[in-house]
Amino acid sequence: MDIFTQQLINGLVVGSVYALVALGYTMVYGILELINFAHGEVTMIGAMVALMVIGALLGVAPDMPGLMVFAGGLLVAVPACMALGFAIEKIAYRPLRHAPRLAPLITAIGVSIVLQNLAMLIWGRQYISFPPLLPQGRHEFLGAHVTDTQIIIFVTALIVMAGLWLLVERTRLGRAMRATAQSREVAQLMGVNVDRVIAATFIIGSGLAALAGVLVSAYYGLAHYYMGFMLGLKAFSAAVLGGIGNIAGAMLGGLLLGVIEALGAGYIGDLTGGFLGSHYQDVFAFFVLILVLVLRPSGLLGERVANRA
Amino acid sequence: MAWLRARPRLALLLLAALLIALPFLVGAGLGRSWVRVLDFVLIYALLAIGLNIVVGYAGLLDLGYIAFYALGAYLYAWLASPHFGLHLPFWAVLPLGAALAGLFGVLLGAPTLRLRGDYLAIVTLGFGEIIRIFMNNLNAPFNLTNGPQGMNLIDPVSVGGLAFEGQRQFLGLTVTGLHLYYYLFLAFTLLAIGVAMRLQDSRIGRAWAALREDEVAAAAMGINTRNVKLLAFAMGAMFGGLAGGLFAAFQGFISPESFNLWESILVLCMIVLGGMGNIPGVILGAVLLTVIPEALRYLGDLQRATLGHVAVDPSDLRMLLFGLSLVAMMLWRPAGLWPSRQRKREFASEDEHADLYDARA
């Protein structure tokens, strides 16, 4: 089996999930210049809510086809997280819109801690297994294995991202979002209801996060109250890699980071003569983040914002 | 209190007497485990004072501060435990730990400090995680950190042949290692308070304040912003490294778990809750956030008494309450419980211009 192709495929699948989460960071950052620290936890809440619904559905109708149960979980988790995102913005960020920069960042950390610990109280500390609802078939592809689950995740992520692209580029709301990102004040003067645009941004981003959370826990077959933290950090790194504030950049950055991580974990042992092993996988995202910020703070596709005071 | 305020020397004397007697009072009143809590209060106060230099004075949000604490602790463990067979005395190891942490502070700061505040937050967070992941995994191919099991049998502090362990009688009082560590930590904390306060009023301290308020204006005033930031970063890191060494000696055991992100956030909470930039506030924050979780343990007993069983594990509630208090503080009292006067004015941004028209201001 070709390790390179295999890791490339695995990386693209995980990367497409990173991209979904990164979109939420980048949209919020583009408009508010705020790192929505709690975004990672929203993905976790999405996975947990979906699991609860899936468990209930399987209890009521055990013969229901797997894909329908999966869709049922998504149909509850996504709106629930949209409401959560809306509430977070309203409670924790909106009152601080004119406060010093550190203030909303600290509330964001607070919200993140609250969500994580609420999840722990509700769903417990243990890992929760995600039932194998998606088709499990395996295909040979260029000397590597691709599973149906991987295909479904990748294609779903791509479709949703294409939808988001259309929303931002072709609709009235999208135009309002782009205007608000350019200048909140001027957009307001042009009759854009900035508060509503910001709320919509949080709602859309949280919906994407919920989808990502469900997909990633279906992929690994596990969910955990702590899963949102690393996922959020990596997605943020992906957003910075692509150029934060830039939607295409978040998609590219997510896919790229997934691939870097998978290839890195696959080859680090050989490269360092066995000194460092694949358990350093989580370190790659941070190294990428630090390297990008040092060498090209604007990211691959972004404008230069990092030094704007 | 007014009569005390009029006699500052007497007040100082009373405070000193209280601080000296405190471990015995606490030990007699609440039990020996609370003397241990007292020791931790001082370690956290030291950490909070150090982080306050970075966050409170210079306005750089550092979310990986605990990495410097970890470096200090691990250096102590390497140089004073059977792990490498080295047993250097603590007064030799502590400065080395502080220096190592300071060096890493510069190494991390040099490339990243030109970034804007929130980027810096994420990079420092990543740095903290990297250090922890390395500590967790560097037990192979050669055993540097003993991995997740951590390192134990670390030498206790010993001064002139008096090792800080066991117990002995002195003037009819039972003096344990916990008591001796209390006085050692108290000395370091007082030293740190002195240094931090002198720094705040120095030329560098004013440069930090200018930087925090407006970086562009500070640069225009001739402040070398990069160097001044680096100095804040390295200085804060040194306090962290020092506290880490003390922690390692005190515990006799360290593992990567003691240095996770939530510890960084806990120290940050102390500063935010107490009042960023104000030393008394920061210490208040350290005291509250160390004592409250310990006191919350009684919630378990309370539940057992009223409900017959423990419905919610109090340690689960701890972080939840931290999170809620962080949000609530930022919304309702963003300057903290005990803010400095300057900070109070900064946060009252709504009436920022009101005092221009107010003759009393």
What are the E-state strand segments in chain B?
80-81, 86-87, 151-152, 158-159, 162-163, 167-170, 173-176, 253-254
Q: In this predicted model, what pLDDT tens digit does every residue of B285-315 receive, in sequence order?
A: 898 888 887 777 777 777 777 776 666 776 6
Of A43-52, A125-134, B39-48, B116-125, the least confident: B116-125
Nearest to B129 among A33, A275, A286 (CB): A286
Please judge whether B123 and A274 are an interchain contact, meaning their C-beta atoms are less than 8 angstroms apart: no
Show residues of chain A in contact with B330, CB under 8 Å. Answer: 96, 99, 103-104, 106-107, 110
pTM: 0.82
Query: How far is it, in rounded angstroms, from Cα B199 to Cα B181?
Result: 26
Mean of pLDDT values over B270-285 = 86
Chain A residues within an 8 Å CB radius of B141: 274-275
Whether A275 and chain B come into contact, CB under 8 Å, resolves to yes
Residues 7-66 of A with CB under 8 A from B: 33-35
* pLDDT computed for residue B311 by the predictor: 67
Residues of B in contact with A103 (CB under 8 A): 330, 334
Mean pLDDT taken over chain A: 86
CB < 8 Å to B58, chain A: none
Identify the residue among B112, B324, B326 best suited for mutation to test binding to A, counting A beta carbons within 10 A and taking the highest: B326
| pLDDT of res. A307 | 42
Identify from A91, A94, A114 which residue to disrupt to test chain B contact, counting B C-beta atoms within 10 A and taking the largest count.
Answer: A114
Rounded distance, CA A242 to CA A299, Å?
Answer: 5
pLDDT band at A36 (very low <50, low <70, confident <90, very high): confident
The yes-or-no verdict on residue A204 having pLDDT over 50 is yes
Residue among B130, B268, B323 minimizing CB distance to A283: B130
Q: Is A4 on the interface with B (CB under 8 A)?
A: no
- Please list every residue in chain B whose beta carbon sits closer than 8 Å to the beta carbon of residue A276: 137
Q: Given the structure tokens 């810096």, which residue do they identify?
A: B120
Q: What is the percentage of chain B residues whose pLDDT exceeds 90?
A: 18
> Which DSSP string corresponds to A124-169?
-SS-EEPP--S---EEEETTEEEEHHHHHHHHHHHHHHHHHHHHHH
pLDDT tens by residue, B140-183: 667 778 778 888 888 887 777 677 776 776 776 777 778 888 88
Nearest residue of chain B to residue A232 (CA atoms): B122
- Token pair, residue A56, equals 């209930």
Domain chopping of chain A, boundaries: 20-228
Q: Which of A91, A99, A294 lies closest to B349 in CB terms?
A: A99
Nearest CA in chain B to A286: B126
Q: Which pLDDT band holds residue B27 (cuts at 50, 70, 90)?
A: confident
Residues in B closer than 8 angstroms to A109, CB to CB, are 63, 265, 268, 323, 326
Q: CA–CA separation, A114 vs A118, rounded Å?
A: 6
| Residues A86-114: tens digit of each pLDDT | 999 998 888 888 777 777 888 888 899 89
Interval A193-212 mean pLDDT: 93
Question: What proportion of chain A, given as a percentage, has pLDDT over 90?
Answer: 39
Write the CB contacts of B337 (distance below 8 Å, at least 6 apart in sequence). Answer: B273, B274, B275, B281, B284, B285, B288
Confidence at residue B128, expressed as pLDDT on a 0 to 100 scale: 87
Position B45 confidence tier, pLDDT thresholds 50, 70, 90 = very high
**pLDDT higher than 60, residue A305:** no
A283 to chain B, any CB pair closer than 8 A? The answer is yes
Torsion of CA A231, A233, A239, A244, to 10 degrees: 150
From residue B140, alpha-carbon distances to A24, A103, B149, B151, B290 in Å are 39, 42, 13, 14, 35
pLDDT for residue B357: 39
Distances, alpha carbon B180 to alpha carbons B13, B36, B89, B156, B177, in Å: 21, 11, 16, 11, 5
Would you state the pLDDT for residue A294? 76
On chain B, the residues whose CB falls within 8 A of the CB of A33 are 118
Closest partner residue to A280 among B116, B137, B330, by Cβ?
A: B137
- Please state the rounded mean pLDDT for residues B124-140: 83
Q: Residues of A numbered 84-123 whose beta carbons fall under 8 angstroms of chain B's beta carbons: which are they?
A: 91-92, 95-96, 98-107, 109-118, 120-121
